[in-house]
Amino acid sequence: MASVKMIGIGDEGKLSLLPMYEKWIDESDILIGGKRQLGFFPEYQGEKIVIEGGLSSLVDRLKTEMKNVVLLASGDPLFFGIGGYLSSKIDLEIYPHLSSVQLAFAKMGERWQDAYFTSVHGRSMKGLAQRIDGKEKVAILTDMENSPNKIAQYLLSFVMDEYKAFVGENLGGQNERCRWFSLEEMQDAEFSPLNVVVLKKTGKTPQWSIGINDEEFFQRKPDKGLITKKEIRTLSISALHLKEDSIVWDIGTCTGSVAIEAAKIAREGQIFAIEKNEGDLENCKQNLVKFRVDATLIHSKAPEGLDTFPDPDAVFIGGTAGGMEEILDICCSRLRADGRIVLNAVTIENLSEAMHAFKKQGFDTAITLAQISRSKPILNLTRFDALNPIYIIEAWRKEGE
């Protein structure tokens, strides 16, 4: 395999390159890049290859290519760029340019080592709300579809109006333009396709820790409220063994309380919830907005609908309206390595059925019987009011299975 060099290039084209880099390009046999990058070199005499679609075929060719190759990439190829993927597949010499985010912060006159970085370039905006909630500074790489306008609309749909936005367009190029906006203003402004958005928090936001009080949730309220109570919720979420990037299912989500608190831990993951009751579904939607969680929520009776979810790292089952064995069979078969299933049961019949199903699947289990009482004032005294006892069943694959 011949030498392969990856060179970062700015919006100003050749002017952004060191003379040594230009020399390498001129002496190369093959020049690879996007249409815009290749357009900076109309006089190039060697073979040009435009990067379109997937990179697997390009990798296959580069592994056997004997000619000298230069790859062009925007800015820093290792910052949400193709450099990370290609360097894991082939030997590369990487020479980065300034990233668009670095240029944006320079134009703002702001430090950037304490910012949160994310990208919606070529990927879904789903889950952005919980990822950035509470962050002081957020840098977002955009694309034609996920434009500054769409970002503003998305954030306002979760009432995240404490941010003002800086938009840098064509940074480093002749048509560079930098502006500040409120989110309301950014919804309706026009932008160049090449831009980066930086959000800066200007107001206070509610901060929710694990163990949100039950009264904070929109919910149906019969005798004691149809919600996984705070204490049970905290124990159940602990049993799920969540990581920052966990994929979580919440079956029978009701108010969405478990899904919401799970999202506060698995910020970089994905949350999927299913609920059969239409009234509870509407309460759940309101709670997702209030607590700034962008979960995938479907109206269905499990196990219908579970086939639309990706395989989970964690499954919480707060209740089933029959069909428990089928639901658990699906959850057990699709649970990813080192995953956890947590089921809350109120009756000994449900406990027995769940234990039988987990045993059938070859899963290990641990059961906690939670009997919680809360203090309650009575005249000038205090007594304790008992909540319903709950069986919290934690299940996982036996080692080696």
Which is nearest to 263 in space by CA: 233, 224, 293, 286?
293
The pLDDT mean for the chain works out to 93
Tell me the pLDDT tens digit for each residue of 276-286: 999 899 999 99
Residue 209: which pLDDT band, with cuts at 50, 70 and 90?
A: confident
Tell me the pLDDT tens digit for each residue of 19-37: 999 999 999 999 999 999 9
Residue 164: count other Cβ atoms within 10 Å of its Cβ. 17
Residue 207: which pLDDT band, with cuts at 50, 70 and 90?
A: confident
Q: Say how far residue 233 (Cα) sits from the centre of its chain.
A: 22
pLDDT of the residue at 225: 64
pLDDT of the residue at 204: 85
Residue 349: count other Cβ atoms within 10 Å of its Cβ. 9
Cβ burial of 321 (10 Å; 0-12, 13-18, 19+) is exposed
pLDDT at 224 over 60: no
pLDDT of the residue at 12: 87
Q: What is the model's pTM?
A: 0.89
pLDDT at 226 over 70: yes
Residue 65: which pLDDT band, with cuts at 50, 70 and 90?
A: confident
pLDDT of the residue at 223: 53
Percent residues over pLDDT 90 in the chain: 84
Tell me the pLDDT tens digit for each residue of 227-247: 999 999 999 999 999 999 999
Tell me the pLDDT tens digit for each residue of 305-335: 999 999 999 999 987 667 899 999 999 999 9
**What CA–CA distances, in Å, run from 323 to 4, 293, 320, 327, 347?**
57, 29, 7, 6, 15
pLDDT at 193 over 70: yes
Query: Which DSSP string do the residues of 213-277 spell out, in sequence order?
Result: -GGGS----SSS-SS--HHHHHHHHHHTT--TT-EEEEET-TT-HHHHHHHHH-TTSEEEEEES-
pLDDT at 396 over 70: yes
pLDDT of the residue at 11: 87
Residue listed under structure tokens 């026009």:
190
List the structure tokens of 357. Answer: 């199903």
> Domains of the chain by range and CATH?
4-98 (3.40.1010.10), 101-201 (3.30.950.10), 214-397 (3.40.50.150)
Residue 401: which pLDDT band, with cuts at 50, 70 and 90?
A: low
Tell me the pLDDT tens digit for each residue of 97-147: 999 999 999 999 999 999 999 999 999 999 999 999 999 999 999 999 999
pLDDT at 1 over 80: no
pLDDT at 170 over 90: yes
- What HEC string does 24-59 produce? HHHHCCEEEECHHHHCCCCCCCCEEEECCCCCHHHH
Helix or strand holding residue 207 (H, E): none
Q: Greater confidence, 271 or 53?
A: 271
Which is nearest to 275 in space by CA: 320, 233, 309?
320
Q: Greater confidence, 148 or 81?
A: 148
pLDDT at 400 over 70: no
